[in-house]
Amino acid sequence: MNKTRQLLYRTKIAIDSTYHVYWTSLDLSIKGALIAAFVSLLVVYIQKEQQDKKDKDQQTQTEQNKLKYLNFLINDSYKTLDYYNEGVISMVKNYKENPFVVSNLPTYVPYGINSIATKINQEEYYLASVNQFKTGEVAELLQLYSHLNFQYTLAVDHYKKEFPILINLRDTYYDNLTNLTKSVNQFILSESKKKLTGNEKVIFDEINALAGEVNNNLTIQTNQDIWLKDSKVAFVEKLERILDARGMALHQNLLKECKSVKIEHAKYLSHSFNVIGGMEISRRNQQDMLKRIKKTGQPLFDYIESLKRNSKL
């Protein structure tokens, strides 16, 4: 062991001696050149370190800005989903109270949803999240928004397409209902000029009484939507029962018109039920996705909060 130490010591002395002899034997100009070269290398190294730090700081700032913007877009998307959620809840409530009340769907421009799904470079935002808070949840978050954008666009476009169809079906029912009341009034006017007996007299009296009820209700109730809601039970079905039970060949046209109005009523209710039901399903799906977004995005939200706290220090 002592021999090894002695050998290492002698080697060090030999290296130091050789270096001293070599350095002292050099010309001053060579020494100056070597020193200048060393200083230049040192300056280059320091500049590179400073530039690397500057680039890293710039990259960090850029990534932080991306994640702040992503957080802004997510918060904006909440407004869109809230508008849709509240709008559909109101539509369903109105529909249950009166299916003939057709509400227009209030919407908030889906800037956040659409931007996350189709505008931003998702790979860059994912890499920024991995670099800044070392987890991969943002990848799932971006996938959720791509799916949400598809579902939201599909639901809104579907309603925009179906809304005028609903209005048209409702107007068609109203027009046919109005024509039926006119036909009944014309029937009463025509039959009142005749000397009726038997079944004809019974039919006339029952239809005349029904028309009186309807006309009184229409005079008192000026709300068209309420009349549309009540008309099937209060008028159309009663008229159909009178004509079916006591009707004669002379009254078949009136009965056909009555049944035709019932068909239009059924068309409207069936279509409106499907439209409102579809909107409600879409609303529930969106709310489920919103819960997943808030859970999956928690690391991002925590990171943004930490940036806010640090900026106040």
User: What pLDDT score does 261 carry?
Assistant: 96
Whether 137 and 25 share a structural domain: no
Tell me: the pLDDT tens digits for 142-152? 999 999 999 99
Distance, CA of 97 to CA of 89 (rounded, Å): 13
Whether the CB-CB separation of 159 and 105 falls below 8 Å is answered with: yes
Domain limits at 10?
2-45
Global confidence as pTM: 0.78
Query: Does residue 248 sit within a domain?
Result: yes
Does residue 93 lie within any of the structural domains?
yes
CATH number at residue 221: 1.20.58
For the segment 276-287, the average pLDDT, to the nearest whole number, is 96
Alpha-carbon distance of 288 to 142, in angstroms, equals 16
In one letter, which amino acid is 2? N
Query: pLDDT (tens digit, 9 = 90+) per residue, 91-142?
Result: 999 999 999 998 888 888 999 999 999 999 999 999 999 999 888 899 999 9
Residue with tokens 């800037």: 111
* Helical segments of the chain, H only: 2-25, 28-97, 111-114, 122-133, 137-191, 198-220, 224-231, 237-246, 252-296, 298-312
39 compared with 155, residue with greater pLDDT = 155
pLDDT: is 133 or 2 the higher one? 133
**Total of domains in the chain:** 2
Least confident residue range of 14-28, 40-54, 170-184, 242-256? 14-28
Where does the pLDDT of residue 15 fall: very low under 50, low under 70, confident under 90, or very high at 90 and above?
very low
| 109 in the same domain as 39 | no
What is the rounded distance in angstroms from the CA atom of residue 215 to the CA atom of residue 217?
A: 5
In-domain check, residue 122: yes
pLDDT given at position 225: 86
CB–CB of 67/129 below 8 Å?
yes
Domain co-membership, 41 together with 71: no
17-23 average pLDDT score: 50
189 closest CA partner among 204, 210, 172: 204
Q: Are residues 31 and 151 in the same domain?
A: no
Establish if 54 belongs to a structural domain.
no
Structure tokens belonging to residue 140 = 């799932």
Report the chain's C-alpha Rg in angstroms.
Answer: 42
161 and 25, same structural domain? Answer: no
Report residue 250's pLDDT band, with 50, 70 and 90 as the boundaries: low
193 found inside a domain:
yes
* Same-domain pairing of 28 and 103: no
Q: Are residues 41 and 68 in the same domain?
A: no
Same domain (yes/no): 34, 80: no
Mean pLDDT score across all residues of the chain: 85
184 lies in some domain: yes
Among the listed residues 273, 268, 308, the one whose alpha carbon sits nearest the alpha carbon of residue 91: 273
For tokens 């954008």, name the residue.
Answer: 149
Q: Is residue 52 in some structural domain?
A: no
pLDDT of 150: 96
Does one domain contain both 34 and 75? no
26 and 75 share a domain?
no
Q: Are residues 29 and 132 in the same domain?
A: no
Residues 6+ apart with CB under 8 A from 260: 176
Q: How far, CA to CA in Å, does 149 sit from each of 46, 113, 152, 281?
A: 49, 6, 5, 16
pLDDT of residue 8: 47
Position 287 pLDDT exceeds 70: yes
The verdict on 298 and 254 lying in the same domain is yes
Q: Which of 27-31, 63-67, 80-84, 168-172 has the lowest mean pLDDT?
A: 27-31
> Domain for residue 56, yes or no?
no
Q: What is the pLDDT, as a whole number, of residue 78? A: 97
Closest CA to 172 of 283, 263, 70: 263
Tens digit of pLDDT for each residue in 202-225?
A: 888 999 999 988 887 765 556 788
All residues at 6 or more sequence positions from 167 whose CB lies less than 8 Å from its CB, including other chains: 102
pLDDT, position 223: 76
